[in-house]
Amino acid sequence: MKSHQKFTAIAVLFLLLLSSCSLRPDPEPLPFSVQTTLNLLQENSQFVMYLNFKSMRRTEFWKKNISDSILNAEKTFGSLLNTFKVSTGASISEGLDELYYSNSWFGENAIVLKGIFNRTTLDTLLARDSVFSITKSRDGTNIYVNNENGLYFFFKDNFTICASNYLKQIDEMIETSDTSKAGLLSNPKMLETIQSVVNKENLWMVTNEKMFIRGLFMNLLETTSGKHIEENDSAAVDTTVTDENLNVRNLYKAVNSLSFSAKMGTDLSLLVQGECISERTSKYLSEILSGLITVAKLSEKDKQDPETSQMLKNIELDRYDETVYVSVTIDEKNLAAFRSKNPMRTPPEM
């Protein structure tokens, strides 16, 4: 009887110990509809972004904090969202449900939009406005051209628009069927990176391009230190590194991929994931980030900025094996502070 009680007590203590430990976050499954659409993005994608406006529009955070501010910016977004708002009437507030975007280091991009589009609006523009023109592909598909920004696009079906700044990519998207294992689905390395993203419902972006990862690290260092980091041209050539020669300037070389994802509800939960080449590298990265966060907290404390200070208090840093996680919760009170401090503010050019 005593041995049974002793075993029960040990089991309870073990369960309590497990429950007190921080558990590695499980990635949400990639929806089948999203995965199959990835075959329309180019195989050599080095940056991939997905936004589900339909799901975000349902949240309290979007309704209270995001729709108005983004709509104002949407008018002058220049190329992408404004092009389709003008030509089809679909915007992030109504009509545009999903956006897929990818580009490669050489500058060509691939864009897929899903939603409800008004073709009559486009026909009217073609008849009266020289900004848009129309041409045909080899199989007779109508290809529309924005003559101001060089963007080509066509209707894959009534609810899907495919676009690119590269005509060859348009041809490939026309030829791709729903069941084709083509495009990004033929890139197992990038696909694995996407599968590892924790939050997949609302918004995520990933990259495995070392120089883009470097740019994000430079933004982070400059944001937290308040100093400009000088460019090192030699770093742009050699993108390899070992555990033995790691330092702050070349740390980006030891990161295989970087992802950013968001989950909206009443608040906005943001998560940055860094997949490193080894556990030693992830430990070093975690230590560097911990130091930067501490410096940033002390700096903002001196400035007596309560909104930014509260946002920094919300930052959590975790490490599991080769992966480093940085998470933060944004609410109505610290949203303005996040926008001014956001180290992810420099995406690839569209």
As a whole number, mean pLDDT of residues 179-205 equals 95
For 62, what's the count of Cα atoms within 13 Å in the CB-facing half-sphere?
Answer: 17
What would the pLDDT profile of 140-150 be if each residue is shown by its tens digit? 999 999 998 88
Terminal-residue alpha carbon distance, the chain: 71
> Between residues 342 and 212, which one has the greater pLDDT?
212
Who's near 25: CB < 8 A, 6+ residues apart?
A: 198, 271, 325
What would the pLDDT profile of 228-285 be if each residue is shown by its tens digit? 555 554 334 345 555 556 676 778 888 999 999 999 999 999 999 999 999 998 998 8
In this model, does residue 164 exceed pLDDT 60?
Answer: yes
Q: How many CB atoms lie within 10 A of CB 302?
A: 7
What would the pLDDT profile of 57-94 be if each residue is shown by its tens digit? 999 999 888 765 565 555 445 468 888 988 999 988 89
- State the chain's mean pLDDT as an integer: 81
What would the pLDDT profile of 286-302 be if each residue is shown by its tens digit? 888 888 888 777 776 66
| Ranges of each domain in the chain | 32-186, 197-341
pLDDT at 15: 42
